[in-house]
Amino acid sequence: MALYDPLDRNDASWFPANSETARLVAALLACRDVVRLLDGLQKENPIDDHHGLLLLATPVISLADNTVALHASSGRQDTSRWPSTDRDNLREWGRSLRRRANGPLRRLRNTLSAHHDPDSFGARAVSVPEVGPLVMEAIPEALCILILLLKHEDLFAWSRHPVGEREDIVQMHGANPFAAPTFRVENGQVVELLKLTLTSDPKEEAREQVQQALDAYNYTAQRAQLPQVGLTEWVAG
């Protein structure tokens, strides 16, 4: 079953069951917009497409903000079994993305891309040719952080109503990557475990969507003569 999508509601889809998973879904929606707008950049030299980079700034900031928030909420999770490279990268990339998103890139989004603030026009306005490339630089950093966060076993939780079942029957997916328990609930409380069902982890679909965004970035980076990013180079294991 597909993940929850507010644009294409499906009652059988996996719905976010905690705040971290809701953040993840928001980041995946931003990934979708990034892919669409990357494809719209001029083919010859994407970095010279200033209007395209301007439009791209809004979903990139959304992607960065949700990724940074998700990174912050993951701090209480156990990473002791991770490769040391992954732990170091997660810490350093989180700091870097936070600084990047709160600098000129956000000013670009706030004054020209999303809000068109007339008070920011004139000599002090953000220079799109200077700041535009920062839009591209933030994309692979955010996507690779998401890939690392998806390695957390207990961070994300999903729920759904099985097809054909009553409204008080809920299936959950969380810590166990293979089995989803089905419960009967009353007043928001679990009162009975009905069964365990072998199922694929919803995180795998999320990871595929992030990979699609990274593929779109690499295709654009190749045309723009920018460094391409391979997950095997950035993420261990």
The answer to whether the CB of 170 falls within 8 A of the CB of 183 is yes
| Residue range 121-135, pLDDT digits in tens | 765 667 888 888 889
| Residue range 41-98, pLDDT digits in tens | 988 889 999 999 989 999 999 999 999 999 998 877 777 778 888 888 888 998 999 9
Determine the Cα–Cα distance for residues 38 and 79; give it in Å rounded to an integer.
33
Determine the Cα–Cα distance for residues 88 and 99; give it in Å rounded to an integer.
17
pTM: 0.87
Contacts of 146 (CB under 8 A, 6+ apart): 24, 27, 67, 70, 210
Determine the Cα–Cα distance for residues 45 and 90; give it in Å rounded to an integer.
31
